Amino acid sequence: MSKNLVIVESPAKAKTIEKYLGSDFHVLSSVGHIRSIAKKVKGGTEPIQVDKGFETTYEIDSEKKKTVAELRKAVKVAETVWLATDEDREGEAIAWHLCEVLKLDPKTTKRIVFHEITKKAIEEAVKHPRTVDMSLVQAQQARQILDRLVGFELSPVVWQKVPGGKSAGRVQSPAVRLLVEREREIDTFNGSFTFKVTAEFMHDGQLIKAELPKRFETEPEAQAFLESLIGANFTVSNITTSPSTRNPTAPFTTSTLQQDANSRLGFGAKATMSSAQKLYQEGKITYMRTDSVNLGGEAIAAAASYIKSAFGEEYSQVRTFKTKSAGAQEAHEAIRPTDMAAERGSSNEYDQKLYTLIRNRTLASQMAPAKLEKTVVTIAISTAKEVFEAKGEVIIFDGFLRVYGGSKKDADILPSVTSGDLLALEAATAKQLFARPPARYSEGALVKKLEDLGIGRPSTYATIINTVQVRGYAEKGEGEGTPRDVIVYSLKNNQVERDVIQEKTGADRGKLVPTAAGQVVSDFLTNHFDQIVDYGFTAKVEEEFDEIANGKLERNNMLQEFYKPFHQLIVESGGIDRSTVAQAREIGIDPKTNKPVMARFGRYGPMLQLGSGEDKEEKVLFAPLPAGKKIETVTLEEALHAFTLPRILGKTTDGDDIKANIGRFGPYVQIGKLFVSIKPLDPHTITLAEALDLYKQKLQAEAEKNIADFGDGIKVLKGRYGPYITDGKKNAKIPKDTEPASITHEQAKELLASATPAKGRFARKTTTKAPSKKPAKKTTRTTEK
């Protein structure tokens, strides 16, 4: 057995490190966090005892008990234990929890950190061990305790007072507020338009594209200007040429990596961090959670060496970047490759794209600026005081653009002209341009906004964005936009013609769109718990975490300062009138029944209601809000159309009605007890033939899913994760060496007898395990006060 035991966070990291440390070292993994704040404590005490200095009870996560048992066994036979968890606060906290669970003294146990997994970095870390930094641990504890208190005390209030409310979190709530505020800016945006005039000229057989700097406010003005160009002469009146340079940006921080991966590669924040984690664990890049833009001396030298050999001396320019973030605290270097010369970082195409992005950004930061020459040709009009301008750009020296930062659209390269040259007008166009409302946030843009506001840290950005979507408070848009008429005047062959074309506007594909539930919860918190959604307050809390980490602020003082006023708001929340939250909007009166039609927020989201419900004898009808419509803007006509459902399309060959409707999970047709999704078809317009075709496909899928039916409710089915046995209450996994079709009724009964009950609507996804012979022992620990 090896003398030294090294404990890291991930199995992949363990394999990489073990090959760098000799046979005297054995490397095991904790597989992330091993303990969490307990949900319940025996005796009825709270897991976090506020009145006892926020004393906290932790318990080993159920899925980590086997891992902990293996680590305990390894610790007993090792002479020296080295804790090599990640170098941020989460990693420091895991190291402390390992000390607690494995009965190691945090004051003497060796703690090593490194920001890249290379042989040299690992060996250097072993030469310079330290002990667990309790200031970092307490900063992580403060965040965890605060988030637990807010979540556990505020979420029940949201459940009780907000229709459809699910939860509220300390950092996710300001993020939702950002999305909601942006959505309302878009809703209240007053659109305006102007007319933009462009022209195409010919000179010595070469095309010159130009634009009029002036915009026309009205259609008659634009038309009159184009008509004034008929018979006019066009002369080059001025040519200006100016040199310019473009400098590279700094290497990646966590935030800028997520932003660029989103804008350039289309990666979401969660996917970006997952991919970066793999590259780090395989020793290909440095630690991926960092606020720093700094590069170490060796990295700068390695970049310079590679750039000179690959591109030439003139492409190399050493640069140092200074971190702007006052709270930068996670790591000491930007995200960069561990080997600047290595073009391949992964055999996985997805991970390789991210590696290339990181490598090119790093190399670009150490390369010479690009040298450009910008040219503006001014074209005078004999019949008007306005002038056209033709702009071009030439790259004299590409510099860092050789590897990173090329524009999506190349600038026009202008043909050679001299002052006084006459140009021939080929065509001119005046096109209606509409002012654009503020853009919805992409994941990358939201990360940037959170960073600008000081909300969150490198380790939390991806989690925040994932949480608001999982909770149903925001979703990724899929809309391609709606058509809009655009007026275009064209001058060609001395004729001005007016056309109306259509262009799409309002596309939200890939953007984060707040749901109705997100808007209701955000409004509720803003009205009653402003502290939770206040941007400045949330940023101040982050700064206080930083002060705890730096040993400048006592943990419990900070927690008490936050908790006391927050808890008072919770106590007072009982007086909030639920009926005032998400109030219904009366749209109008149904002309057929003379009943009011209302749009309101219900348990499962926005909905329409026909009838007030004040009279118990009154039959109230409900319908989902039409797709793409909002409670604030849906019209009476749209609402009444929604109440035409359900719609009978016809009958099956067996004589069963085929009914089209919209439910909680979207549009469907119903035949008896069978529901068939019809997405993306509309239940108002779906034809009988289309419904019958979808019904046929559903029956075929159901038939293929049934491997065996024993007639008493016990079936052998083909599931998403393989074949299984069910009786509707329990699911049982079929042994690997057993052919599903060969299972007998008796075998099915035996397997079900040892299975656990299936739960909820996802019951059939549940697999079963044989019960353990000995119950697992529950282990809990309590933090120091």
Catalytic residues: 287
SS3 per residue for 3-42: CEEEEECCHHHHHHHHCCCCCCEEEEECCCCCEEECCCCC
Instruction: Compute the 3-state secondary structure of the chain and give helix, strand, coil in percent, each to the nearest 5.
Output: 35, 25, 40
CB 608 within 8 A of CB 624: yes
Neighbouring CB atoms inside 10 A of 376's CB total 14
CB 147 within 8 A of CB 169: yes
Q: Is the peptide bond before 646 cis (omega within 30 degrees of 0)?
A: yes
Residues 6+ apart with CB under 8 A from 455: 171, 174, 175, 535, 538, 539, 542
DSSP 461: H
β-strand pairing of 370-381 with 474-476: unpaired
Query: Looking only at Cα atoms, what is the longest distance across the chain?
Result: 99
Which tokens is 360 given? 């090119």
CA count, 13 A, side-chain hemisphere, 247 = 8
CA distance 667 to 682: 7
CA distance 6 to 25: 7
Buried-state track 190-226, b at ≥16 Cβ within 10 A, e below 16: eeeebbbbebbbebeeeebebebeeebeeeeebbebb
Residue 596 β-bridge partners:
589
CB 289 within 8 A of CB 272: no
CA distance 585 to 629: 14
Residue 366 gets the label, from left (phi > 0), alpha (psi -120 to 50) or beta, of alpha
**Which amino acid type is present at position 126?**
V
> Could you give the angle at the alpha carbon of 265 between the alpha carbons of 9 and 444, nearest 5°?
75
CA distance 326 to 178: 23
Residue 538 CA, chain-centre distance (Å), reads: 20
DSSP 289: -
β-strand pairing of 422-434 with 234-246: antiparallel
CA distance 538 to 557: 17
Residues 6+ apart with CB under 8 A from 129: 82, 110, 111, 112
CA distance 520 to 600: 11
